[in-house]
Amino acid sequence: MSDYYKEGLNRKQQLLLPPSLDDYVTEDNPVRAVDAYAELLDWSELGFSDTRKSDRADGQKAYHPRLFLKIYIYGYLNKIRSSRTLEKEIKRNIELMWLTEGLTPSYKTIADFRKENPKALKQLFKEFVLMCKEIDLIEGRVVAIDGAFLRANASKNQLIMKKGAARDLKKVEESIEEYFTALEYSDSEPSSSSPVAKPPRDLEKLQTRKQKLESDIALLETMKKEQYNRTDPDATLMSKPAHNLMAYNSQIAVDGRYKFIVATDVTSEGGDKQELHRMAKQTQEAIDNDAVTITADKGYYSTVEIKQCFDDNINVVVPPTQTGQEQKNRGKFGKEKFVYDKEQDGYICPNKQTIPKTYSNHTSYQRVMHLYRISSKICQACPLKTQCLGEKTRQKQIQRWEHQQLIDDYNAKMKTEVSKAIIKRRGAIVEHPFGTIKRMLGWDHFLVRGREKVSGENALIMFAYNFKRLLNLIGIPLFKKLIMALKKGDIEAIKEEIAEYIAAFSVYLRRFLLCFGIWEKRVCSK
């Protein structure tokens, strides 16, 4: 058979000149990029915990934090996140053997590094963003914001919901009451042979269940929360049309040029309405550009958040949500039919009557609302009354936010062609990273618990995405040149080389797509 097939080495044969471990790792292997970048970092600036302070019973020396960061970057790039799996791979994976230089930390030591350094991991993400900006890979003109639910390391079985607990408590109390009612009936009819509705053992279970539910409700009332998870108190039940899960809402801001994530954070809120200003502010600080345009989907539309962005001179482009549809479905006039008259400070109704401003106002959702009301006599005599008022409503009244003019101007801006083009472009910018993170890389859940630790792992996930994105964009050889240039403090030459490389690749890609398009047309014509 040896005449036809290749034969491998004799495993027991001793080699006079055995190959070094370095020979097994090619020059264009991504693990070399991981090693080069980790060696470049200034550890005193990042703030990683000093492993030398750990007390070891066996008296061994501590591992350098750089080692764990190399392990985690490599692991996240290769869909290996579990500390136990990383421990196994270190002992059998040649790339990791090369990266760790033969060191084999335990899974617990690996896991502790991720849990104990959330702030340093967030700083690591920021440092990489600054590096990408320094070499002109982050433009900072249009940045898109989006959020996604990433599953928390918490079970729904450990979740306490106030509404659910109150509902269950009512059922338990009804069952207990039924038992005592049946017991009274049984005592009053001694000749009756019918058994008691519930045996004493079930009564004990019901009473124990009642005490637990009362304790859960008291806990929620003390914490002033509607829900609480015993496994991870910071995680919340988040719902979408297709599913609901214990999760954190991961927020990202993505630059429009090469899809780099420039800012990220996590929240326990299941919606995005409160996140626009916070993420926009983080983005502005990260890219250091006051002229940046922030765009997001309509889930971020909030008049309060838009006002805060306006106060901080942040240009936001978020499509307004459609209101008043319920009124239209009922055959009533929508609010747009009532035109605000700035000179009279009143509204003009469809019957050309003025609805004047009153001296009443109230606060609603952090907004001071002014009340506009017309006389009931005018409304009752109006021929359009049935299209305007409900059956029991005597007069028309409208609420107006004190900063409504700013929102009216903003909504008018959203109708311009420039804003429409930005909104149309948003999906192409920000949907790509989350698609890659959740589907291709499998980072759809967190492994740590508590918001602070989760924010650290979230930053590590987004850093790994950016790192992989950069390697795919410029390649391993050019990345190593970049590291050398950063060490020397001279990056102007490498900036030009990176720009030329990307430009040449873009031309090649356009030609390839053009050729493919022509080929497709020829095939279709046949």
3-state secondary structure 152-205: CCCCHHHEEEHHHHHHHHHHHHHHHHHHHHHHHHHHHCCCCCCCCCCCHHHHHH
d(CA 370, CA 163): 34
Q: 367 by DSSP, 3-state: which?
A: strand
Q: Residue 265: its pLDDT value, please?
A: 96
Mean pLDDT by 10 residues, the chain (526 residues): 70 72 90 94 85 59 91 94 95 94 93 94 95 93 94 86 86 80 67 52 80 86 86 85 84 94 94 94 92 94 94 94 73 86 91 90 86 91 88 88 92 94 93 88 90 96 95 93 90 88 74 56 41
Q: 372 by DSSP, 3-state: which?
A: strand
b/e per residue, 319-330, with b = 16+ CB within 10 A?
beeeeeeebeee
47's torsion region: left (phi>0), alpha (psi -120 to 50) or beta?
A: left
**Phi, psi for 339 (deg, rounded to 5):** -90, 130
Beta-carbon contacts of 409 under 8 Å, excluding residues fewer than 6 positions away, are none
d(CA 129, CA 135): 10
- Tokens 């005597």 sit on residue: 394
Per the CB < 8 A criterion, the answer to whether 465 and 433 are in contact is: yes
Q: 137 by DSSP, 3-state: which?
A: coil
* Angle of helix 107-116 versus helix 451-474 axis, rounded to 10: 100
d(CA 27, CA 206): 68
Q: Residue 82: its pLDDT value, please?
A: 94
CA 278 to chain centre: 13
Fold of 142-152+236-320+414-440: Nucleotidyltransferase; domain 5 (3.30.420)
Q: Residue 526: its pLDDT value, please?
A: 37
d(CA 151, CA 448): 11
Strand partners, 369: 362, 401
Q: Residue 501: its pLDDT value, please?
A: 87
- Tokens 């005449």 sit on residue: 3
DSSP per-residue codes, 197-260: SS-HHHHHHHHHHHHHHHHHHHHHHHHT-SEEESS-TT-EEEEETTEEEEEEEEEEEEETTT--
